Amino acid sequence: MKRCMFIDDSSVIRRVAKRILDGPDMLVIEAASGLDAVEMCTADMPDIIIVDGALPDMQAEDVIRRVRAMEGPIQPHILISLVEVDVASIMRAKRAGAQGYLLKPFTRPQLLERFRTLRFAA
């Protein structure tokens, strides 16, 4: 079973993502802050991480760098989640170690298609 972590201070975004992706092949884990996410990754690294581009407690790039600095058998796919295409934010996230971005609010087809392009079935 693949594990996906959604890091977003919006419980609505986390709940929608969980409703779309959670199933027999995917477990969705929620984190409301960057610090919570980093602690959770230290204990058990997920296969994919979606990081909100506007976390209240730390910059998305800092979360990505901290996760990338962790040693272990799993090197997760990481996406930054944004409300609009912001090339500067996307480039900072990619330099920190993200593979791409996801726009929100997202629909079921958009989220499932993004996961298919990452080769993660949901």
In a domain, 63, yes or no: yes
Write the pLDDT tens digit of every residue in 56-107.
999 999 999 999 999 999 999 999 999 999 999 999 999 999 999 999 999 8
In a domain, 31, yes or no: yes
In a domain, 38, yes or no: yes
Give me the number of domains the chain comprises: 1
Percent of the chain with pLDDT over 70: 97
101 C-beta neighbours (distance < 10 Å), count:
21
Tokens of 25: 């092949």
In a domain, 6, yes or no: yes
CA 103 to centroid of chain Cα atoms: 12
DSSP 3-22: EEEEE-S-HHHHHHHHHHH-
**CA atoms of 41 and 6, how far apart (whole Å):** 12
29 C-beta neighbours (distance < 10 Å), count:
18
Instruction: Report if pTM > 0.75.
Output: yes
In a domain, 122, yes or no: no
| Length of the chain (residues) | 122
**CA atoms of 7 and 15, how far apart (whole Å):** 11
What CATH number is given to the structural domain containing 16? 3.40.50.2300
In a domain, 76, yes or no: yes
Write out the residue range of the structural domain in which residue 95 sits: 2-117
